[in-house]
Every structure is written in structure tokens, then in C-alpha cells.
Structure 1
Amino acid sequence: MRRTLRWLQLGGRQREFALTVALGCSTAALYSAYQRKPLYADAGNATGSWNGKSAIVSSDDPSRASGKEGQRTTTAALKDRLVKGPLDPEPPPPPTKGHSVFDAEGDSPSDPLQAWQYATERVAAASGNFTNFDTTSLREKIKGLLVPKWIRQLPDWMNKLQNELSMAPWSLSWEIWEEAHDPEVNPEIIWDARVRVGQDLCQEEQAFLKKRQRSTARALAKYIGVPESEVHPEDVPTIGICGSGGGLRALVAGSSSYQAAAEDGLFDCVTYTAGVSGSCWLQTLYYSSIGRQNFLRIINHLKDRTQVHIAYPPALLGALSQAPTNKYLLSGFVEKLRGVPDADFGLVDIYGLALAARLLVPRGGLRVSAYDLKVSNQGFYTDRGTQPLPIYTAVRHEIPDAVGDVERLAKEARFTTKHYDYFQWFEWTPYEFYSEELDAGIPTWAVGRKWQNGDCIWRDNGLALPELKIPLMMGIWGSAFCATLSHYYKEIRPILKSSGMSGLDTLIAGKNEDLSKVHPIDPAVIPNYVLGMRDRLPKTAPESLHSASHLQLMDAGMANNLPIYPLLRPGRDVDVIIAFDASADVKGDNWIRVVDGYARQRNIKGWPMGAGWPPQSNTQHQTVLELEDAQENAPARVKRKLTPSERERQDPPDLGYCTVWAGSKEERQEYMDEPVPRQIESPDDDWHLTSPNAGIAVIYYPFMANKKVPGVDPMESDFLSTWNFVYTPDQIDKCVALARANYEEGREQTKRTIRAVWERKRALRLQREEEAHEFAKSWRVKRGTAHLRRNGDVGQGDQFT
């Protein structure tokens, strides 16, 4: 172990030198062993004449070493030979049974000095081979075995990327920045923009709703199986589908759920789609040249592209250093770095770049389209009302300064200013970037510019910056790792409890308020478009917005992993919300229940208060009984019936694959009481949906295990983790099959719910028309009676009679 630690403590060059020396020594030893000639000592002839010569070949024959005289004779003869030189050559000694050390090479020296010289030359030759050994090639071979090829290519990639981003003439960055000033490439750079303040929808979205209403009327008739003549556009329910966050799991499962809804005819009846995190990526692919408004194409695309991690260097660096993907991916980053130099370039931006390189590049990487890089371009698919309007979401974490003395604040500030941290919601559509809390928005094509006093700041050349590109926003939409320390602690808290560190858990839990205000990783930023608009914003706007030059935006899943809030915005008048929840813990997080607080704060009428997973209230007594019932030595307890009091203490059943709640528009007198949700469990409960006072219908599909798809459980299958970015085609098929199976479980209930809402709206329209007809009839009658009274008063008719 100590040797291992010492080895790890060595530097990179030291380890490389040690490996080279070790392998060199072993190579030399093998070489010398291979080149050494055999030593034969089995000759039986007389050795008297050989003792006076140089001992090139030795023998263990004792006759050669007998007597001091022989030794002196041998020594004297050797000295005499070395001094006089080879003047009188003598015949060689007899061979040792036909073998000689020189026979192998066919070279027999004529005398011992030549033999010594020959042996010396052989040693020098062997030494020269070792000295001239190519250590560089050996080092390269070692690197090839131990170091991956992509690491050896990393310097070349980085040098190439650095050269392309050097802004040198005709470099890639220079070309991108030149096109950023070209109105033919980016026409929005010459368009003027102002901040729109108001609670109503923008004009483009209002026009979309009228066109979408006519399109969904035909689709609804086909979906519920009635003639088109019976479906009036005003009767069509406004349906919003929302997909949860959850990384690639939400992307794959959402693609399957949306595809099942499309095959059923439901997706054509939808007016809005809203997404968080992975569902935002899904909407991006749907309105791109890759998806082409086909979810099957998206699923096949994911099979091709998700087998490699988004951060795998060879794939990522290859896309960034090769045409045409390098310009396609880096354009938004060059524009941001050059156009907004004071904006931070951080981990979220790199994350968005990696996501785009994996998800927005088709197989082969050649058929990329720059048209896919702008959210505003998605209006091409929605302007005619043929597709739903996508809504992308992000949040800003407002952390106000600590207030020392509330009494010193102005009275109006005590109640209009929030003194606790909270999340502000921001939304993108192809038409507008808007915040409902600020009642202010800007055109989507103007996101990325600098603003002051409600007007955009033009650059020195009289142009504006191009629209912020989608790769940057993909990082914002999915930046769940920008969570606070409190969120991170929730992930490891079960480990601390199970390991017996309850004291540490109590200590950290006591600091939760402080932990919830610290972000280890900074969120991404965009220019603050409400800077200098203090007098035009609501009084509840936080003070920090009036001085911050940029908005820090992050994953909306920090506040709610289901994007329901944008669907409750006034003016959209959503009647049915279909929530596909692929969160990590659908039951524990209970995001549907979180909406209750938002509905109370915004005074939203019609939301089904109390909807969500039922609370778990197991008592200790009941838990003990359940454990005893499970014991094999107590079979009698299994047949024991619970008493009425125990039955009341039982938890309500968990939600199924599809759950429907019906809201109500009736005013409740007491808001402190916990509302009882109206859950639609059978056709007999549909009257809650058809009632004139019925509110919003919520259809909830949690992504959970299904017996029809064995071996796949979102709570246990490792590949369905939020932090997994590698999916095999087989794993995608399993995830797709599970989402489809869950949709099939609630298919008929969903259709029945939408039909009931249509019948309610139809009945209300007919009632309004009848009331209008009666009012017009009574008005005509009143006008006719008044005319007769006027003529009667005159007595002779009018002046023309």
C-alpha cells in the first residue's frame, strides 16, 4: 500500500522516466541473455598447452588448476605474450568435442589477443545497441497502451479551437461576428423593441388563439367521435399539456407520452405545451428540422445520439472543431462574449453547448440548420394555428437583504415587499419573453440585448445584438445543478440518517435557511430588460432588479417541476391541464399539491385545491400491527379486521396511473380549512365536470412502474436517474414502453373528461345564446310598446299623417 501511495505521489514526468528505465533495464537483460554464446566445458583432451594462453573459454577440469607451478607458468606465459606480442603464433588448442565459441559465427581468431579484441568488440557492439536504443519510440508505445488516443489528440483539438476563436481575420469567430452584423442573416438586429408592461397577452398570442381554436374544433370532433357540425369553436376546451423536468428521462418519457396522445388524436386538440428542463428540450426538438413535428422521429433521433455522454471529449471537441457543426454551435457563444463582455461565461453555458452538440446535431452531423437556433423562428409552425404554442420556463432566485428592524420600514413597504427568498418565474414563447410577477415582457427576438428605461440600447454601429441562441437557453432550462446547498443536502440526507449520523443531520437541518440561499454553481445570466423601470413595475418587484445589470436564470424545477403556473396565467383560460410527471420522486415531491399556495396567492378561481398525492399519516401503533401481521409466527393476525377507529387512521390509497380532479369556481368562505379535492373516479362522478360552476380539470399521469412492462421501475432502475446522460436503444425502448403503457391505462378516462368539459362549455354557450335571444326579444317588445305610447300621447300619429 505504501509503495502504491509513493508511486501516486510521483509527478507525471517522474513516473514516465521510471517506466522508461525499468523497461530499458529489462530489455538490456533479455538482449544480453539472448546474445550470450554457450560455454562448453566437456573436452577430455590434455590441457597443458592451453594453460599458457588467454583463458577465453574456461573449464571446471581440475587438471588445469593443479599445482602452483602450473599457475606460475600460466601467469608468466601470459605476461610474456602480452609484452612480446604475437610474434610466434602457436597452434590452437584441440577442439572441445568439435565445438568452439567462435564456430557459431564462422570466425576463429588466430591468437588469444585477437580473441580478446573480438570479445571486446562484441561487448562494445552490444553496448552500442543499448546506447542507441530508441527510447522515444518506446515511450510512444507505452503511451499508446496506457493513454487513450483522444487524450493524445487533445492538444491538436484545443489548438485548432483556439485558432478558430482568436478573432483573427477569416477565422471562425471572425466570420460569426461579421454575420452578427448582417441583417440578411439576422434581420432582428435592425428591429426596434420596447418593454411591454401589462397583464394581458401579447397581440401575437391573441391572434394565435383565434386560429388555433378553429383548428382544434375539427380535431376535437374526431377525438370524441361527434360530427364536426356539432362542435362550435367556442365550445372547444382550451387544453394545456405540461411535461416535467427530469433530464433525459423526462425527454424520452415525454416523447413517448406525447406520441401516444398524438396517435389517440388528443395532441391535435391541445392549445399549449409547457415544459421544464428535459421537457423544454423535447419542445425544442419538436419544433426543429430534426423532429419535424413528429415524436417518433425524436425517439429515433435519441437512439442515435444518446449512446455517447454529452461531455465525452472526442465527440464534443470533434463537433466544435469540424464544419459545419462548429459554426452552428459556437455562433451564440461568440455573439454573447463579444456583444455582452460583462456577462459571465460559466459552467451553465458550457453545459448548454454540450447538450446542443448531442441533441441538436443529427446523425452524421451534416444536415444542421441555423433556423433551429432561435425560439422566435418556431412561430413559423404556430402562426397559422396548426401546432400548439410552446412555453419554456426558467426561474430567478430572489434573495433579499436581511432586514434589521421592520418597524423602520415604510408602512406600505412592510406588506408589499417580500422579506424572504423566493423564485420568480419567467417564460418564453415564440412571441414573447415575459414575467407574470413583473407584468413586463419583451419580444423573444430581442432577448440578449441591453436595456435601459424600457428601451433597448443600440450598439455604436447602430445595430442590436442577434437573438440569444437556443444552445445557451438549453443550459438555462436544464441547469438543475445550480440548486442551492439545501437542495443538495436533501439528496444526501437519507445517507446520513442511515449511517447513524443523526447529530450531524440535526445540526445541518438547523442551518437549512442559510443553506437555501447559497448556490455553489452560479446560474447563467441574460441582460436585465426591466433596468431603470422602477416607476412602471409593480410595487412588489424586488429592489435588486432595479440595480442588477443581468438576470440570473436557472432550472424552473427549483420552484416546481411541473410548469403549471404559466398555464394559469390570466387570458389563457385553460380548461384542462394534462400533466405528465416524470420527476425523480413523483410521490415524495408532490408537485401538484405545491400549486395550492400559488393559486391562493394569485387568487386563481377554479383550481382543484387539495389535488395531489394523499398525505401519509401512519401511526406508530398501525405500523407495529403491520409488522406483526407480516411475521410468519402470527398467522392469526392476518385475518383480523381493523376496528372503525383504525380504519379511519388508515392512509388513503395512492394515486393510480391516471387521476382526474375537478376544480370549482364557487367562493369558499373559510380558507383555513383543508379543502377536500374532487377526484373523478367513475363516470358517476362526471357531474363535477359538467356542473356550471366547475373549474379547471387536472389529468395527472405519474411516471411509475407498470406490471405490463416488467423490469422497469423509475425508482429502482439506475439508467432512469436524472443524472444519467447515456441511454442505449434498448433502454429507450423500455422507457418508451412504460410511458405508453401508463397512458393506455388512463386513455378512456382522459377522453371522457375532455368530452364532459366540452359538454359543459356547449351547454353554457347555448344558455348564453338563449339568454341573449330572450333579451333581444324583450328589448324589441319594449321598443315597440314605447312607440305605441308616444303615438297615443299625441293622439293624431306623427306629423306626416
Structure 2
Amino acid sequence: MFHLVTLLLFNFCLISAWSPTDSYAPGEIACPKNYNGVRLADQLSNEESDWIQSRNEITDKNLIEFLNHANMDDFDAENFITGLNRSIKIGLAFSGGGYRAMLCGAGQFSALDNRTRGAWEHGLGGLVQASTYMVGLSGGNWMVGTIAMNNFTHVEKIIEQGTIWDLSSSIINPGGWKIWKTASTFKSIDDDLDDKKDAGFELSLTDFWGRSLSSQFFAGLDDFGAALTWSNLQNADVFTNHEMPFPIVVSLGREPGTLIVSINSTLFEFNPYEMGSWDPTLYQFTPVKYLGTEYNNGNPVNDTCIGGFDNAGFIMGTSSTLFNQFLLQINTTSIASTVKSIITTILKRVSHKEDDIAIYRPNPFYNTSAAIDKISKNDTLFLVDGGEDLQNIPLAPLLQPERDVDVIFAFDNSADTEYSWPNGTSMIATFERQYNRQGVNASMFPYVPDSQSFINLNLTSRPAFFGCDSKNLSTIQAQTHNPTSAFSSPLIVYTANRPFSYSSNTSTFKMSYENGERDAIIQNGFEVASRNNMTLDDEWRACVGCAIIRREQERQGQEQSEQCKQCFAKYCWDGSLDRTSQINANFTDNGSTEGHTKIAIRSLCKNYVIKRACSITMFGNKDTGED
């Protein structure tokens, strides 16, 4: 009864996609008739294609509403959108970076979400409702996955209910001083791991990590969603009614025994229907619902399929295996010896020489046409943190021509610099990838500057547009021999984490946050996405609208309005570079200033995401940036 009540409270659907064992253990289920478990990545799956077609009807309507609200000059949104023979597709991408990335991303998402109080008036409210895709990696996926798998909840509701995202105690010491609570939590996790092992499946540290994450992300479910599968989303009402963007998780393949993931690594994605890769080293997908099934060249070996392997927490943990290394350092932490002993006992049972990997065995791509033997000839597929190849913003799934994305809103909450602020490294890594063999199937990625120029030109202290003129991609097209049209290359709206009302550059490995700090980082994220509640640029919403329609205008040969030209002059990178040795670290309203000792921040004592008193200490002078 408790299991059913909690599910109803969180508006989940009791459907067949839950683990057939009603536990963390996978179990046998019937295979579909005439089932083949692998397909070539030469098009979208039929399921995704049909889903997107229905989602388009909703995004078209919401995009018209958003563009009308944007107060764009000389532009008729309804005539423009309804007059197209296609739908404009918007992708949202949220970077990795632990809880910092999750919380900063949550604030940014909330500023785009019309369900957030104040987002319509003081942010970009409605953009989520107009978006087709949302992609997360590592900590960014903790945010995307939490929202998607909790019935497409919203950030404000998460904060108000207080059931999930309680980060006040470290994930490795969830009970705090209540040792019995920590022991109980880990005993439950240990039992879950036993269930999976007894069912005949190999364990990895990611099993422990994923179950631990689930205690924070699915806290309202029985046993923290031990039976909740990623494919459960297929039949959830919010998904079948196309009320949410299509969620995608990013991970990487890594050959066992290697320590460094190169730019040539195979990039995997999980979506509600499939798992696989567009990269030429694999170029195949398999149904995510039947992961754990033993295949030979895509055919079930025993005419029997497995369900429940695609545990939601396990997949979210797969995208963030970097933190497995943190678990291995448990003896260096200051937690109670009793708790340390419990965790150490569990880790000894699941630890292998490939410590920071997720084990997918049996390998669904075994003995298939995959281009490299380390995938096709190995009975185990090894996956790791999606950011280990430096592509910390999960842009790749949105660069696939099959998805036909017009504009990507890339939120960078990385810790690239000494002071844990982004410097564009992820954008550079994605740009460079198109010049090697793994980038041949993707659309062209626009030119970006070096990391020092990213900071010195204030491209991390305010939003920046890349790929504003598709004609400038011609050189890239010639160099890479990319067969896709320049119009298929999405315009990138890049927004980096920076301080407004809170210094949100916390460590990637910071494992606990009091509610006040958690909420302050979320609020700062709202301000980052909204240009400080629209106080820095009252035409920011219109400029976003100009970015959204740009590719379609180019396709039709339409000239921009004067307003859009001014927006692009303000936000588009002009191709210049600044490689001077001084890297700016302080932030003012409009950019950054030299020096590293303090941060100039400004707080507008308003809070549109959470209910709390405004009490912010100011550092420096907001007008001059003086320390």
C-alpha cells in the first residue's frame, strides 16, 4: 500500500516499464514479436520521430506566445510560425559539474520555465514549453533527470515540497549525526545490490553511486525508486501527452584499463526509447527498455528479453561516474568510523580495476557491425562520465542533422579555471571534435575563440551567440568535407555561470549544501539566464527571439529587423581574439574586471524562484567594480 500511495503522491504511472521484479534486480520479460535489438543510426527511431511530430504542435503554439511576449519589432510571430513547412526546434543543454551544475542549471531552467513565479515577467518564461529537447550531462543530468523522472516537476515545486534535493547531509553520510539513519540507508542499498548480483548481473561502483543518488532524487518513492526504470518515461502521462521536452542523457565509452578519454571516444546517449551512438565507431542504437538482454548481432540469444536493467538512478549515475573516484577516497574523509566501515564493505564487493566505469553486461552491441572491435567483440560495454573528453556541455545530441535543431541554449556551469568559473573549454572541445573521424556525422559547429579570449572578451560574463551567420561556416565545411547544409548547423546561445546575488563557483566535489545555500545558487542561476531579472538588458527576451528565428530567416532569405541587427551586434562573437596574459576573474554587471581577490556582485533584492528574505552582503562597488 505504501508503494502505491507514494507513487500516486508523485503522480507516477504504474506501468509495465517498472522493473518486472519490483526491485533493483532486472528480470525476464517477453521480447516483442519479430524483435531485433539493434538498428543502424541512419535516422531517428520511429518512436522519437512520431513523438517529435506531436511535440511540434505544442512547441509551435508556445513559441508564438513566447515571441509575441518578446516585443520583437517588425515581426509577426503567428504568421511567421504558421507559414513554415516545418517547426523551429529549440534544444536546451546543461553542463556537468556536480551539485554546482545541478543547482545552477536548476536556476537557469527555472528562468525559462513558465511555471516559475516571475519567469514570465522577469525571465525567459515559456522557453521550456517551446523547446523540443533538453539534454543533461553528469550534474546537469541530475537536474534534467530529476525533473523528467518526477513527472516533469518544476524547480519551484521541488524547493517548496522539500522531499527531493535535500542536500544538507553528504550523499556518503545521509543521516548526518544520526548514524542509524545512514546505516539504514546503506543497508537498503546493499540489499538492492545483492538483488542485482543474485539475478546474475555484474556490479560496479556506479550501481552504488546510482542508488545513493536516487535517495536524493527519488526520495518520495519506495526504496528510493529501486524499481523505477528510465524507460518508465515512455508511458508517463506528461511524456505521452508531449508536455515536456524530449530528455537525453550523455555518457562516453571507454576501453577497459585506459585512464584518459580522448576526443575520439565514442559518445553515447540515452533517451526514453533508445541507447546508442551516432558516432561512426558504433553508429547503432538499441531499445533502452531491454538493456541487460543477451544479444548476438542484435538477436536475443535465448528468445528472452530482460527488463529493469535501465534503472533510472543507474543511468543518471552512468553519466556521472567521475564521482566514483570520490567514493574510492572514502578513507580520507572525516565521517564516522561506523559509517566508513559500512561503505567500505559495500565498495569491496563492487570495486574492480575499472573503478570509475559503469558496467553494461551483456553488451547489446556484441558481434554487430560496430566499426571497432573494442565495442563489437567485447561481451561488456564500459561507459563513463560524459564530460571526461572535455565536452562538458552535452551539445553532440543536438548537433545531429536528423534532429534538425535550429538553436541550442548552452548553459555552462563548468569549473574550468582556478576560481571554478567556466572559460569555454567545453565549446572548444566540441568545435575541435568535428575535425576528427568522430565528428563526421554531426552538423558543423561554429567557430569559437580560445579559452583566454572567452574570458577576456567577456564571453563568459554575459551571454554570447555563436554561428550568427551561417555563411561563415563555409570554411569549416570545406575543411571537414561535411555534407550537411550550413542551415542545419544550430546557432548557439552560450551562457556561463557567473555571480549576481551569490558566488556560485562551489567545488565540483562539494557533497553537501544547506538549504539556504542551495536556494541561493538556484536563485543566482535564474539571474544568470535572465540577465539579472531583465535589469541589464530590457530587450534580452527580444534578442533571444532573434536568435531563435535566425536560421529559418536565413533559409528564406529574409533580412533581420533593425532590432535583431542591434541584438546580434551586442551578443554575437565578432571573431576577435584577446590572448593577453591577465585573465579577468572579477565580475561587474556588464563584464569582468582585473584581479582575483574579491568578486563584485550585485543583488537586486527580489526573488522570483524561492520564498526567502533578501539578505546579501555586497563586495565592492557595483558601478565601478572596485574592490
Shorter-normalised TM range: 0.5 to 0.7
1:530 corresponds, among 343, 362, 365, to: 365
Report how far residue 368 of structure 1 moved. 6.2
Tell me if structure 2 keeps the 8 A contact 1:242–1:274.
yes
1:700 corresponds, among 494, 499, 510, to: 494
Q: Is 1:241 paired with 2:92?
A: yes
Q: Is 1:608 paired with 2:446?
A: yes
Query: Which letter maps to 1:714?
Result: S
SS of the aligned residue for 2:113 comes to: helix
Cα distance, 1:473–1:192 mapped onto 2, change above 3 Å: same
Distance 2:454 2:24 in 1: 61
Q: Is 1:296 paired with 2:127?
A: no
Cα distance, 1:177–1:547 mapped onto 2, change above 3 Å: same
**Deviation readout 1:195-238 (Å, 9 max, x if unpaired):** 11232110011111211111111101110115645522645421
Q: Which residue of 2 aligns with 1:101?
A: none
Counterparts of 1:680-691 in structure 2 under 5 Å?
Answer: none
**Deviation readout 1:41-78 (Å, 9 max, x if unpaired):** xxxxxxxxxxxxxxxxxxxxxxxxxxxxxxxxxxxxxx
Cα distance, 1:350–1:442 mapped onto 2, change above 3 Å: same
TM-score (norm 2): 0.66
Tell me if structure 2 keeps the 8 A contact 1:352–1:473.
yes
Tell me if structure 1 keeps the 8 A contact 2:26–2:292.
no
Tell me if structure 2 keeps the 8 A contact 1:243–1:275.
yes
2:145 corresponds, among 284, 288, 310, to: 284
Report how far residue 351 of structure 1 moved. 1.6
Distance 1:766 1:588 in 2: 34
2:292 corresponds, among 435, 439, 448, to: 448
1:593 corresponds, among 422, 425, 428, to: 428
Query: Which letter maps to 2:251?
Result: A
Cα distance, 1:654–1:369 mapped onto 2, change above 3 Å: closer
1:346 corresponds, among 196, 201, 204, to: 204
Q: Is 1:436 paired with 2:274?
A: no
Larger Rg: 1
Report how far residue 464 of structure 1 moved. 3.2
Distance 2:398 2:289 in 1: 22
**Deviation readout 1:382-419 (Å, 9 max, x if unpaired):** 33332110000111124799xxxxxxxxxxxxxxxxx9
Q: Is 1:548 paired with 2:378?
A: yes
Cα distance, 1:756–1:248 mapped onto 2, change above 3 Å: closer
Q: Is 1:567 paired with 2:398?
A: yes
Report how far residue 444 of structure 1 moved. 1.1
Tell me if structure 2 keeps the 8 A contact 1:457–1:464.
no
Q: Which residue of 2 aligns with 1:722?
A: 508
Q: Which residue of 2 aligns with 1:212?
A: 55
Tell me if structure 1 keeps the 8 A contact 2:490–2:551.
no
Distance 1:567 1:521 in 2: 30
Cα distance, 1:483–1:458 mapped onto 2, change above 3 Å: same
Q: Which residue of 2 aligns with 1:306?
A: 167
Cα distance, 1:673–1:588 mapped onto 2, change above 3 Å: farther
Q: Which residue of 2 aligns with 1:83?
A: none
Bigger share in helix: 1
1:382 corresponds, among 234, 239, 244, to: 239
SS of the aligned residue for 2:135 comes to: strand
SS of the aligned residue for 1:721 comes to: coil
Cα distance, 1:191–1:339 mapped onto 2, change above 3 Å: farther
What is the root-mean-square deviation of aligned Cα atoms in Å? 3.9
Distance 1:235 1:464 in 2: 38
Distance 2:466 2:445 in 1: 9
**Deviation readout 1:100-149 (Å, 9 max, x if unpaired):** xxxxxxxxxxxxxxxxxxxxxxxxxxxxxxxxxxxxxxxxxxxxxxxxxx
Query: Which letter maps to 1:257?
Result: Q
Query: Which letter maps to 2:546?
Result: R
Q: Is 1:476 paired with 2:314?
A: no
Cα distance, 1:180–1:549 mapped onto 2, change above 3 Å: closer
Cα distance, 1:304–1:205 mapped onto 2, change above 3 Å: closer
Counterparts of 1:255-404 in structure 2 under 5 Å?
Answer: 255-263=106-114, 264-289=125-150, 292-300=152-160, 301=162, 305-312=166-173, 314-319=180-185, 326=188, 333-334=193-194, 336-341=196-201, 343=202, 345-362=203-220, 372-378=228-234, 380=236, 381-398=238-255
SS of the aligned residue for 1:567 comes to: helix
**Deviation readout 1:344-366 (Å, 9 max, x if unpaired):** x232221212111232113xx66
Cα distance, 1:451–1:704 mapped onto 2, change above 3 Å: same
Q: Which residue of 2 aligns with 1:132?
A: none
Query: Which letter maps to 1:352?
Result: G
Tell me if structure 2 keeps the 8 A contact 1:276–1:557.
yes
Distance 2:170 2:257 in 1: 38
Distance 1:174 1:447 in 2: 13
Query: Which letter maps to 1:286?
Result: I
Cα distance, 1:483–1:561 mapped onto 2, change above 3 Å: farther
Distance 1:371 1:388 in 2: 24
Cα distance, 1:732–1:663 mapped onto 2, change above 3 Å: same
Distance 1:661 1:252 in 2: 25
Q: Percent identity?
A: 20
Query: Which letter maps to 1:731?
Result: E
Distance 1:251 1:665 in 2: 32
Number of residue pairs the alignment of both structures matches: 469
Tell me if structure 1 keeps the 8 A contact 2:96–2:136.
yes
Distance 1:732 1:359 in 2: 15
**Deviation readout 1:641-695 (Å, 9 max, x if unpaired):** xxxxxxxxxx6455322111225544867669999xxxxxxxxxxxxxxx99694
Tell me if structure 1 keeps the 8 A contact 2:363–2:379.
yes
Report how far residue 547 of structure 1 moved. 2.6
SS of the aligned residue for 1:558 comes to: coil
Distance 1:573 1:596 in 2: 18
With CA pairs under 8 Å and 6+ residues apart, which has the higher RCO, 1 or 2?
2
Report how far residue 561 of structure 1 moved. 0.8
Q: Which residue of 1 aligns with 2:73?
A: none
Distance 1:439 1:673 in 2: 24
SS of the aligned residue for 2:142 comes to: helix
* Larger CA deviation: 189-198 vs 553-562: 189-198
Cα distance, 1:544–1:270 mapped onto 2, change above 3 Å: same
Tell me if structure 2 keeps the 8 A contact 1:393–1:425.
yes
SS of the aligned residue for 1:427 comes to: strand
**Deviation readout 1:239-286 (Å, 9 max, x if unpaired):** 100101111111111111111101311111110011101121222221
Distance 1:376 1:449 in 2: 17
Distance 1:280 1:756 in 2: 25
Query: Which letter maps to 1:440?
Result: Q
Q: Which residue of 1 aligns with 2:601?
A: none
Q: Which residue of 1 aligns with 2:518?
A: 732
Query: Which letter maps to 1:360?
Result: F
Distance 1:398 1:209 in 2: 34
Query: Which letter maps to 2:401?
Result: P
Tell me if structure 1 keeps the 8 A contact 2:234–2:272.
yes
